[in-house]
Chains A and B, each alone.
Chain A
Amino acid sequence: MFSVNFAIILPFIIAAFVPFIYRRFRFIHIGWFVMLVPITLFILLARLIPSVASGQTFTDTYQWIPTLDINFTTYLDGLSMIFGLLITGVGSLVILYSIFYLSTKESLQHFYVYLLLFMGAMLGVVFSDNLMVLYVFWELTSVSSFLLIAFWNHRKGSRLGAQKAMLITVSGGVAMLVGFIMLHTMTGTFSIREIISSISGFTDHALFMPAMILVLLGAFTKSAQFPFHIWLPDAMEAPTPVSAYLHSATMVKAGIYLVARFTPVFGGDQVWFWTVSIVGMITLFWGSFNAVKQTDLKALLAYSTISQLGLIMSLLGLGSVALHIGYSTESVIYTQATFAALFHMINHSTFKGALFMVVGIVDHGLGTRDIRRLGGLMALMPFTFTVAVIGSLSMAGLPPFNGFLSKEMFFAATVQISNADVFSLQTFGIVFPIVAWVASIFTFIYCMIFIFKTFLGPAQPEKLDKPIHEAPMGMLISPLILAAFVVGIFFFPNLLGNYILRPAMSSIYPTFGDAFNLTPSISAWHGVKPELLMTIGVVLVGAILYKILKKWKPIYGLFSQKYTFNTLYNNVLSLSEKGSGVVTRGYMTGFLKDYIAYIFGFFIIVVGGFLFYSGAFSMDISTNAPIRLYEVILVAVMAIAAFAMLFAKSRMTATLLNGVLGYSIAIFFVIFRAPDLALTQLVVESVTTALFLLAFSHLPDWKKEKTTIKTKWINGIISIAMGVLVMLIGLSVLNYNKFETISSYFEDAYELAGGANIVNAILGDFRGFDTMLEVVVLFIAGLGVYTMIKLKSEKGGDKE
């Protein structure tokens, strides 16, 4: 039986093997091997389509941290099926395309590892039922996106773009995490399905609204919604296959997924409706408006993607109104907005993926994607041109392409919502069709720009570095397949509607009974309705405006470049860099003694303060064992050693005295019958002494430090306070009874862990997790020392 967990894990496993295979089979492009992963998963998922279409869902649970309610639970239903198919389907095509796009000279092993990481993470996002697991995968998509944007990391633009994308999406992700925790506080569960089924009792909860806003922040940043859209154009520094895959077809739709997934949770709420719809609408308009002025084809597509994401987002917002009204024959009409959202999302992935690949072909073949240098490519690149026309016209919303169908449904949804009589839509609802229409005009214009400026008009071979030529067949396969889908979906939309979209509708509207009622029959012709008139209007006005583009283009000059969100972002970034620089330089003096003073001071205030506050200090020594003579002698030795260290004249003396202290402690451990500790202490003492001796040669001569009387006093007070505090804690611990003691549990170590040595049973078994992380930390520290020393000796190149 196919397990959904397996689908998520598989890309990660393969990713681990990619570097080895790459090294072994240099002569084959590693992409061919990697491509098998999405293809396999696509086939496995596609085989489940009939079962999912009949309402079946698949879940699979692996108990991860059950005590914290964190389990690796996956859930495959209609909604996640759409995304799963998109991720694997588009993924296969993109990898096929990338095989011809990226030459074997690039560091392919990195590229495909990142890509597989992304694929696994993205599948994890859409299949996870547990919010914590979802969050982890969510951030992993940001990380892999960061790596992929910065793939050509010798370019400054790539690095900055990657940083921007990372900062914006991750801060949104953290907000979302807080939202998830609030949801858990309210409902007591991290499982999305359980939250959905129990949320109705919590809509008046004080945390309901904050949780909603925070979750939306996560979705909006990820899906590049206004005003967080600024990262997406900069992310176009990534190789084009990555832009086609992450930044148009899948990752940016994670936010859409999240909103769709949480519609049953927050959907009935007015704030949700207005926020999602309005943010979507603004994004739709702003994206398409800005796309028109772009001269870089990829930037044009980036803004277009922003705009289309806004469209889908606003549709999800509009569709949520049905949950407020509740299920009735009247409210079903509003669910069509959601249906249109899902439909358009699939369509967008097909046509935008194809368009990105077209731009990639142009860029790859001609060395530029600046429309001012392009033109007249039609005759020489017929296949590319065909795909471009199909994609653009679909994007513009013209028949006979799938974009027409979903665009019409979008118009219909905005018209219907303006007639609804909830949320004061009677008054304000009219805004929706107007904004939608205006934005669509700009969409039409930039689609025309894309076709005409690139492929028609006079060719300008003198401005190009390379002769114009058609792309190799391999690069054309993927865009042609996507273009075939663009046309195919137009002619058989209901196949998609019945098998793919309907089950997703029942995931979004779980309380609405049979999803059959929620699935409208999609048809290209349904009489002269407002939506058709709107489309005709868009074409007419758009064509006129395109003709006179030169006349009104100066409008864009009116927007001052001083007050953009990009400037804001840059200022915030440089200010926080400066600020943290000032703060860090303020306390990072480079003197070890200062750091120790911080640590001790903090310890005294926090630990001492807490113990004092909770009244835990106790000087009662009546229950202690009697102090014996050799203990007194040992303490005396230690005291003398410690005092002598203050007056030591050389490092060697100080180190040896320190050793005396350490070994004396070891003897204490022996006296108190703690052989493990004694052994460890002895060996640690020996190894550190050896380390000290090695380090000596690096250190300057030990000079008498000139410290002021004031600092001496402060240091003296801190050290004495520290010593006294530790002593007091030592005395108090024996009488501390605020918490129950757990030592009895460890006494059963022999039965529980099969080990008679309790210390080791704790280290290896009971608290094995701690030990594991400690080992990792030790390793990182070791690497840190290694790299610091190596880097330093490399920098001081004159030494060699």
Chain B
Amino acid sequence: MKINDVILRTITRIIVFIILTFGVYLFLSGHNTPGGGFIGGLVLASAIVLLYLTSDIESIRKSLPFDFKLVAALGVLLATGTGFGSILFGVPFMSQTFAYFELPIFGKTELTTVTIFEAGVVLAVVGVVVTIILSMSESEEA
């Protein structure tokens, strides 16, 4: 089955970056406005899925040479690692903390350990979703 998807491909090329940016935005803004690690991760994953849907797998694999299983594992490690990290500071497991800093350009910024935790969630979600979709579409070819 061959369908003419020139329009889809052309649009995808542009729109993927918008989606990716949106995903990162959602992830970072999640602390105070709607968004967060899970949703950010899903949006990022959907962008990658869109790429896979429009182009062939091989060329995407060349441009995104990650092993997404490792990405997911890294995410899990980050998420659990922040939990253990709090132990090193003598507070119970999974304690999160936050503080406000004066940063150049950004001005007064809140930095929090939740962001590290959420980054783990993002990576895990992206990794798992892409792994599942990739392995399904690959077995299709075999």
Interface residues of A (CB under 8 A from B): 62-66, 675-676, 679-680, 683-684, 686-687, 690-691, 694-695, 697-698, 753-757, 759-761, 763-765, 768-769, 771-772, 775-776, 778-779, 781-783, 785-786, 789-790, 792-793, 799-800
- Complexed CA–CA distance, A775 and B73 (Å): 10
Closest partner residue, chain B, to A676 (CB atom): B34
Contacts of A761 in B (CB 8 A): 31, 114
A-B contacts besides A757-B36, A789-B139, 10 pairs, CB < 8 Å: A675-B34, A680-B39, A757-B34, A763-B37, A768-B83, A768-B117, A771-B117, A772-B83, A775-B75, A775-B79
> Within the complex, what minimum Cβ distance (angstroms) separates A672 from chain B?
14
A-B contact count (CB 8 A): 156
Contacts of B73 in A (CB 8 A): 779
Contacts of A686 in B (CB 8 A): 46
Judging by beta carbons under 8 Å apart, are A779 and B75 in contact? Answer: yes
- Complexed CA–CA distance, A764 and B40 (Å): 14
Which interface class (under 10, 10 to 19, 20 to 34, 35 or more) fits B? Answer: 35 or more
- Complexed CA–CA distance, A764 and B37 (Å): 9
* 26 A-B interface contacts by CB (under 8 A): A62-B87, A65-B92, A676-B35, A679-B26, A684-B42, A687-B42, A687-B129, A690-B133, A691-B136, A694-B137, A695-B136, A698-B140, A757-B31, A760-B36, A764-B114, A764-B117, A764-B118, A768-B96, A769-B93, A769-B94, A778-B125, A778-B128, A783-B69, A785-B132, A789-B135, A799-B142
Contacts of B121 in A (CB 8 A): 771, 775
> Given contacts A754-B98, A792-B139, are A782 and B127 in contact (CB under 8 A)?
yes
Judging by beta carbons under 8 Å apart, are A763 and B38 in contact? Answer: yes
- Complexed CA–CA distance, A63 and B43 (Å): 38
The yes or no answer to B12 lying at the interface (CB within 8 A) is no
Judging by beta carbons under 8 Å apart, are B136 and A694 in contact? Answer: yes
Judging by beta carbons under 8 Å apart, are B76 and A779 in contact? Answer: yes
Q: Of B79, B110, B129, B135, which one neighbours A754 at CB under 8 angstroms?
A: B110
The yes or no answer to B33 lying at the interface (CB within 8 A) is yes
Q: Of A756, A759, A790, which one neighbours B135 at CB under 8 angstroms?
A: A790
> Within the complex, what minimum Cβ distance (angstroms) separates B69 from chain A?
7
Closest partner residue, chain A, to B136 (CB atom): A694
> Given contacts A64-B93, A772-B94, A785-B132, are A753 and B114 in contact (CB under 8 A)?
yes
Judging by beta carbons under 8 Å apart, are A698 and B35 in contact? Answer: no
> Within the complex, what minimum Cβ distance (angstroms) separates B40 from chain A?
9
Interface residues of B in 35-64 (CB under 8 A from A): 35-39, 42-43, 45-46, 49, 53
Judging by beta carbons under 8 Å apart, are A776 and B76 in contact? Answer: yes
Contacts of B140 in A (CB 8 A): 694, 697-698
Closest partner residue, chain A, to B98 (CB atom): A754
Interface residues of B in 69-125 (CB under 8 A from A): 69, 72-73, 75-76, 79-80, 83, 87, 92-94, 96, 98, 110, 112, 114, 117-118, 120-121, 124-125
Closest partner residue, chain B, to A750 (CB atom): B32
- Complexed CA–CA distance, A679 and B80 (Å): 26
Contacts of A760 in B (CB 8 A): 30-31, 35-36, 114, 118
The 3 tightest CB contacts between A and B, nearest first, are A782-B128, A754-B98, A675-B34
The yes or no answer to B131 lying at the interface (CB within 8 A) is yes
Contacts of B131 in A (CB 8 A): 782-783, 785-786
Judging by beta carbons under 8 Å apart, are A772 and B38 in contact? Answer: no
Judging by beta carbons under 8 Å apart, are B132 and A691 in contact? Answer: yes
Contacts of A684 in B (CB 8 A): 42
Contacts of B53 in A (CB 8 A): 690
> Within the complex, what minimum Cβ distance (angstroms) separates B96 from chain A?
5
> Given contacts A775-B76, A789-B136, are A755 and B87 in contact (CB under 8 A)?
no
> Given contacts A765-B114, A779-B124, A789-B136, are A683 and B46 in contact (CB under 8 A)?
yes
- Complexed CA–CA distance, A66 and B91 (Å): 11
Judging by beta carbons under 8 Å apart, are A759 and B136 in contact? Answer: no
Judging by beta carbons under 8 Å apart, are B33 and A757 in contact? Answer: yes
Contacts of B35 in A (CB 8 A): 676, 679, 757, 760
> Given contacts A683-B42, A683-B43, are A753 and B94 in contact (CB under 8 A)?
no
> Within the complex, what minimum Cβ distance (angstroms) separates A8 from chain B?
14
Q: Of A62, A694, A775, which one neighbours B124 at CB under 8 angstroms?
A: A775
Judging by beta carbons under 8 Å apart, are A772 and B33 in contact? Answer: no
- Complexed CA–CA distance, A85 and B69 (Å): 42
Contacts of A759 in B (CB 8 A): 34, 36
Judging by beta carbons under 8 Å apart, are B72 and A779 in contact? Answer: yes
> Given contacts A676-B34, A775-B124, are A800 and B46 in contact (CB under 8 A)?
no
The CB with the most chain A CB atoms within 10 A, among B32, B80, B110, B137, is that of: B32
Contacts of A695 in B (CB 8 A): 136
Judging by beta carbons under 8 Å apart, are A771 and B79 in contact? Answer: yes
> Within the complex, what minimum Cβ distance (angstroms) separates B62 from chain A?
21
Contacts of B133 in A (CB 8 A): 690-691, 694
Contacts of A698 in B (CB 8 A): 136, 139-140
Q: Of A65, A676, A756, A769, which one neighbours B36 at CB under 8 angstroms?
A: A676
Contacts of A675 in B (CB 8 A): 34
> Within the complex, what minimum Cβ distance (angstroms) separates A435 from chain B?
50
Judging by beta carbons under 8 Å apart, are A690 and B96 in contact? Answer: no
- Complexed CA–CA distance, A63 and B69 (Å): 34
Contacts of B128 in A (CB 8 A): 778-779, 781-782
Contacts of A799 in B (CB 8 A): 142
- Complexed CA–CA distance, A753 and B98 (Å): 7
Judging by beta carbons under 8 Å apart, are B96 and A753 in contact? Answer: yes
- Complexed CA–CA distance, A776 and B73 (Å): 9
Judging by beta carbons under 8 Å apart, are A756 and B32 in contact? Answer: yes
Contacts of B118 in A (CB 8 A): 760, 764
> Within the complex, what minimum Cβ distance (angstroms) separates B15 from chain A?
13
Contacts of A781 in B (CB 8 A): 128
Judging by beta carbons under 8 Å apart, are A786 and B69 in contact? Answer: yes
> Within the complex, what minimum Cβ distance (angstroms) separates A568 from chain B?
42
- Complexed CA–CA distance, A776 and B83 (Å): 13
Contacts of B80 in A (CB 8 A): 772, 776
> Within the complex, what minimum Cβ distance (angstroms) separates B104 from chain A?
21
Contacts of A679 in B (CB 8 A): 26, 34-35, 39
Closest partner residue, chain B, to A781 (CB atom): B128
Contacts of A680 in B (CB 8 A): 38-39, 42
Judging by beta carbons under 8 Å apart, are B124 and A778 in contact? Answer: yes
> Within the complex, what minimum Cβ distance (angstroms) separates A778 from chain B?
5
Contacts of B98 in A (CB 8 A): 753-755
Judging by beta carbons under 8 Å apart, are B132 and A786 in contact? Answer: yes
Contacts of B38 in A (CB 8 A): 680, 763
- Complexed CA–CA distance, A698 and B135 (Å): 12
- Complexed CA–CA distance, A779 and B137 (Å): 19
Judging by beta carbons under 8 Å apart, are A755 and B32 in contact? Answer: yes
Contacts of A687 in B (CB 8 A): 42, 45-46, 49, 129
The CB with the most chain A CB atoms within 10 A, among B36, B43, B142, is that of: B36
- Complexed CA–CA distance, A62 and B137 (Å): 48
Judging by beta carbons under 8 Å apart, are A768 and B36 in contact? Answer: no
